């Protein structure tokens, strides 16, 4: 069975995880690194996708400053959403050439990963017609937004575990006016062991995508990524030199 690297990179400012994603995404395009799933928890941030309406951010600049909440316009699909403490965010950076060339199927697979995860904790979850994400009792418990270029993915899903749901009151989540937002904590009436959910997510992802998990520590991952980037740049310089010599 083909391995899937999984790295729990802990709590991160959004921009740090975004930059790490971009580096890995570039390496994956070059087939310099394996498929990988990053698991993280962000500091308070609102992110607006390519189809976002700025009017769906209800908080004022002063309010954002006081609460220490960042705002980023990013390159995933979808509208506006919130990330923050108590929420697990998964970033699969995988080459769909090794699975199937179907973005809609990929989105459904990510939903299935979350549905399987919630089932392991006794939560019955499902889909809503014509809407991307995972729902419990007509309320959204997980948002999904991705970017796919030349069939390599980035961005991913966000599952509300012990999330402060009041943060969603200052946006219109995913541009959906008529439905609420929930969390595992609210559904089960107790705080959930955060790290345990991450492990179940990783196992569910491996099951849905038929891969074998290989955990990699965040420091090892970052040093590996940096080494591969340096190596890639060096190889490109050598290629340029060879081409120049051939031209002479």
Residue 139 — left, alpha, or beta (φ > 0 → left; ψ -120 to 50 → alpha)?
Answer: beta
Query: For residue 214, is pLDDT > 70?
Result: yes
Q: In this structure, how many other beta carbons lie within 10 angstroms of the beta carbon of residue 166? A: 8
Query: For residue 241, is pLDDT > 50?
Result: no
Question: What value, to the nearest 5°, has the Cα angle with vertex 53 and ends 48 and 59?
Answer: 75
Of 54-68, 162-176, 221-235, minimum mean pLDDT range: 162-176
Distance CA 140, CA 126 (A): 10
Q: Give the domain ranges of the chain.
A: 3-247
Average pLDDT over residues 238-243: 46
Q: Which helix (H) or strand (E) holds 87?
A: strand 87-93
174 is catalytic: yes
Condensed to tens digits (0 to 9), the pLDDT of residues 111-165 reads 999 999 999 999 999 999 989 999 999 999 999 999 999 999 999 999 999 999 9
Helix, strand, coil distribution of the chain in percent, nearest 5: 45, 30, 25
Residue 79, CA distances (Å) to 131, 171, 201, 227, 234 in order: 12, 10, 24, 35, 39
Q: Catalytic: which of 17, 113, 174, 221?
A: 174
**In this structure, which topology does domain 3-247 adopt according to CATH?**
BirA Bifunctional Protein; domain 2 (3.30.930)
Condensed to tens digits (0 to 9), the pLDDT of residues 49-94 reads 888 888 899 999 999 999 999 999 998 988 899 999 999 999 999 9
Confidence of residue 178 (pLDDT cuts 50, 70, 90): low
pLDDT at 88: 98
């Amino acid at each position: 069975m083909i391995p899937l690297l999984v790295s729990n990179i802990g709590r991160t400012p959004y921009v740090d995880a975004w930059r790490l994603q971009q580096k890995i995404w570039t390496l994956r395009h070059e087939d310099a690194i394996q498929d990988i799933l990053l698991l993280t928890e962000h500091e308070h941030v609102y992110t607006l996708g390519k189809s976002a309406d700025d009017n769906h951010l209800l908080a004022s600049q002063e309010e954002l400053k006081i609460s220490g909440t960042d705002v980023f316009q990013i390159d995933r699909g979808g509208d506006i959403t919130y990330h923050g403490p108590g929420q697990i965010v998964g970033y699969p950076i995988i080459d769909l050439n090794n699975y199937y060339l179907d973005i809609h199927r990929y989105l459904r697979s990510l939903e299935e990963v979350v549905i399987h995860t919630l089932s392991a904790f006794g939560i019955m979850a499902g889909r809503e017609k014509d809407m991307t994400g995972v729902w419990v009792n007509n309320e959204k418990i997980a948002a999904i937004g991705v970017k796919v270029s030349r069939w390599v993915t980035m961005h991913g899903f966000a599952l509300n575990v012990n999330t402060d749901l009041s943060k969603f009151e200052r946006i219109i989540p995913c541009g959906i006016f008529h439905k609420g937002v929930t969390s595992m904590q609210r559904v089960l009436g107790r705080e959930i062991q955060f790290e345990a959910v991450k492990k179940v997510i990783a196992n569910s992802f491996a099951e849905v995508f038929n891969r074998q998990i290989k955990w990699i520590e965040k420091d090892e991952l970052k040093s590996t990524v940096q080494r591969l980037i340096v190596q890639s740049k060096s190889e490109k310089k050598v290629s340029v030199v060879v081409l120049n010599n051939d031209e002479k």
